[in-house]
Amino acid sequence: MSIFEPNEGTLVVIPSLSLPQDELRRITGARCYEERLLFLLFTLRRPGVKVVYLSSVPVDPAIVDYYLGFLDDPDEARGRLEMITLDDARPMPLTDKLLRRPGMVERVRRALADPEDSWMVPFVVSEAEERLSELLKLPIYGPATALAHLGSKSGGRMVGEEAGVPLVPGFTDLRSLTEVEHAARALSRGRLMVKLNNSYSGLGNAIVVKDAPDLTACRTSFSAAEETWATFAEKIAERGAVIEEFLEERPLRSPSALARITPGGAYDVVATHEQVLGGPNGDVYQGCSFPASREYRAQVGECAGRIAAVLAGRGVVGLFGMDFFAVKTDGGYRTLLCEINLRIGGTTHPFGAALLTTGAVYDPETGLLMCDGRPKYYVATDNCAAARLRGRRPGEVVELLRAQGLGFDREARTGNVLHLLGAVPEFGKLGFTSIGNSPEEAADLHRRTLRALGPAA
């Protein structure tokens, strides 16, 4: 089973952000991130596939039209798509809201073409998604919550050690501020990184300068706005944490890898990326480019494969991401594992969009997406925001780019694929993936699109 290329069956897409809500509240337009899995509508190009897509609030029909417009027969595909909305904008996970409404659960059940050939595809698996799976009697394309610890910061280090992948020096399974302080004394001088076991998009991190005897008296930069040692200590006690030496090498590269494991235990690495990071500490995900640098692409892929083998042996199923550091040495680059994210992540939708719109195939030997004998490249962002976009309708933005030649050319299989369009009216924010036939073409398209959408346009 591959959610990117299913031949038949029903995908029940549950894009619920079942993650720490305090961190999600700090992301502009977080509710609209439920739209990041709309690239799965492209799977409707296969006539045997049906998609049931849930959302907290209605998805603008123009956005659905936009995605179906990539297909050969949009009207026929629309007959195999069911969009189900709860019409509930409360700031809580979609799955939690769904479980409180048995009538809507029954509606999802009725939407299944064949329950024996249907899968739940969640953004992340929590106990809520497992409960919904039981009610619908559907398997989940994702890791069981009993294995969730393997995707925590502590669990990721454990898996990395078992896989023989190099790690930054540090300590795991710290359950109190006192334990963090003791571990800090055992690490080198300079700066340290404290990371909550379970956090999202780098918002659970803190960089500490060891310039005072007590950790809380040291200069500290929290990645999340308004965080303090008092609030951070509560989260350490609740979720646990790791502490690591801060890598001072600059420029510090941050490649990532995307892998999948089938229910039968087969695994493969499907992509590598360069991450674009921002925020006060330069560790908050902003976007990515494909593929990772040639200088260490093979090394990242090889490390990711070893990690995937360990996770497959533990029974993990689904898509997941791995973040790395690439440190330059006299002999080249050395790859270190940063963390494992056992869920659909920020690089998943750009990869899925590029794969499904171009018909390309990933070549593990070169680490490239190949289409008709030539490679495809892309640059993606989740964070294009401009005041001039606020109040515009999603369809207007689609037409604006199309009129400037910045849409998608189905014949050349290059151009932009937009996402997060639902965040445009209220927040003036969207994301897009710029696909080209060379790294330079993709980067140039991305820059021109940012100019077209930005303040100077």
pLDDT at 383: 86
pLDDT at 7: 79
Amino acid identity for residue 404 in this structure: Q
Q: Are 268 and 259 in contact (CB under 8 A)?
A: yes
Strands (E) in 62-179, as ranges, are 81-85, 118-122, 170-174
The CATH number assigned to the domain with range 8-142 reads 3.40.50
pLDDT at 248: 83
Structure-token pair, residue 359: 């018909």
Q: Which of 455, 401, 437, 394 is nearest to 38 (CA)?
A: 394
Find the helix or strand (DSSP H, E) in which 198 lies. none
Four-way CATH pick for 249-342: 3.30.1330.10, 3.30.470.20, 3.30.70.360, 3.90.1150.10: 3.30.470.20
pLDDT at 22: 59
**DSSP readout, 276-344?**
EEETTTT-EEEEEEES--TTTHHHHHHHHHHHHHHHHHTT--EEEEEEEEEEEETTEEEEEEEEEE-S-
Q: How many CB atoms lie within 10 A of CB 73?
A: 12
Half-sphere exposure of 223 (CA within 13 A, CB side): 25
Amino acid identity for residue 145 in this structure: T
pLDDT at 204: 87
Tens-of-pLDDT digits for all 457 residues of the chain?
566 778 789 999 999 987 655 555 556 667 788 999 999 999 999 999 999 999 999 999 999 999 999 999 999 999 999 999 999 998 889 999 999 999 999 999 999 988 889 999 999 999 999 999 999 999 999 999 999 999 999 999 999 999 999 999 999 999 999 999 999 999 977 899 999 998 866 678 999 999 888 889 999 999 888 899 999 999 999 999 999 999 887 777 999 999 999 999 999 999 999 998 877 666 677 899 999 999 999 999 999 999 999 999 999 999 999 999 999 888 889 999 999 999 888 899 999 999 999 999 999 999 999 999 999 999 999 889 898 999 999 999 999 999 999 999 999 999 999 999 999 999 999 999 999 999 999 999 999 999 999 864 3
pLDDT at 252: 78
Q: CB neighbours of 92 closer than 8 A, spacing ≥ 6?
A: 21
Query: Residue 35 — φ and ψ, nearest 5°?
Result: -85, -5
Q: CB neighbours of 354 closer than 8 A, spacing ≥ 6?
A: 290, 360, 369, 376, 378, 417, 433, 435
Task: Give CA angle at 10 (9, 12), nearest 5°.
Answer: 155
The one-character DSSP state at 366 is T
d(CA 8, CA 36): 22
Q: Are 417 and 410 in contact (CB under 8 A)?
A: no
